[in-house]
Amino acid sequence: MTASINKDGLLAGKVAVITGASRGIGEAIALRYAQEGAKVVVSARTVEEGDHPLPGSINGVVQRIADAGGEAHAVRADLAVGEDRDDLIREAVDTYGPVDILVNNAAITFFIPVADFPERRYKLMHEVQVYAPFHLSQLVLPSMIERKTGWIVNVSSHAALHPKVDAGGRGGTVYGMGKAALERFTTGLASEVYEDGVAVNVISPGLVATPGVIHHKLINESNKDRQTPVEHMAEACLRLSYSPASELSGRITYADDMMKEFSLEAAELLA
């Protein structure tokens, strides 16, 4: 079946903000949510095609959704800048109303061994991958708590798991510690807002052949057969974005596990 917009879908009328949505996983999530009737606010630093060496842009994602009959709005935001985070949520609310779903997907990654890691890059990674999700959650939570409904989905990585001492490494320690912090933040926040009806979960995609993964040469002969289709990640995130907190919250989960547990079938994404 050809991908299309279902305005009466699972997320009909919901307002969803997705960060890091110019390409890859964030783009796929934005498309999938729009297909289920959400009003999608896509955010990233790359506004137009060609603004970044990698393909993709938030205006391009919005155009694909609009061409299919969906609703989407692009907001440029550098998540390392507090004012941009404020402006992102403010513009989302001004455009569509209170935020129902927040997907913290944006990341910036440097693969450098600890002994050589520059302080400025460490602080930048922590700001984007740990504090930005924390701050954006603070910005959307008052409305969610007041309305007794809301969903926050944080995107993690298998890098959060403790490595074997003799496994070697490629400079992923700082990335992994940031994702581990994000997972602990998720479970803590889920506990805080459980009685307020707000669901908070964290999900890792597995190895997805996104432009960034390919750029960092993270797919090789030893793991190329274990790739996760980006459509699976989008479908798993969708499943975390409509059940009540009483049914599905506080999870540290993975795309493959979600697909199996809930017998999900990945939908085709908008072309």
Catalytic residues: 175
Q: Which residues contact 124 (CB under 8 A, 6 or more apart)?
A: 80, 108
- Beta bridge mates, 104: 154
**Strand intervals (E) in the chain:** 15-19, 39-44, 71-76, 101-104, 150-155, 198-204, 252-254
Residue 120 exposed, middle or buried by CB count within 10 Å (0-12, 13-18, 19+) = exposed
CA nearest neighbour of 43 among 94, 82, 89: 89
Neighbours of 81 (CB within 10 A): 13
CA 134/CA 96 separation, integer angstroms = 22
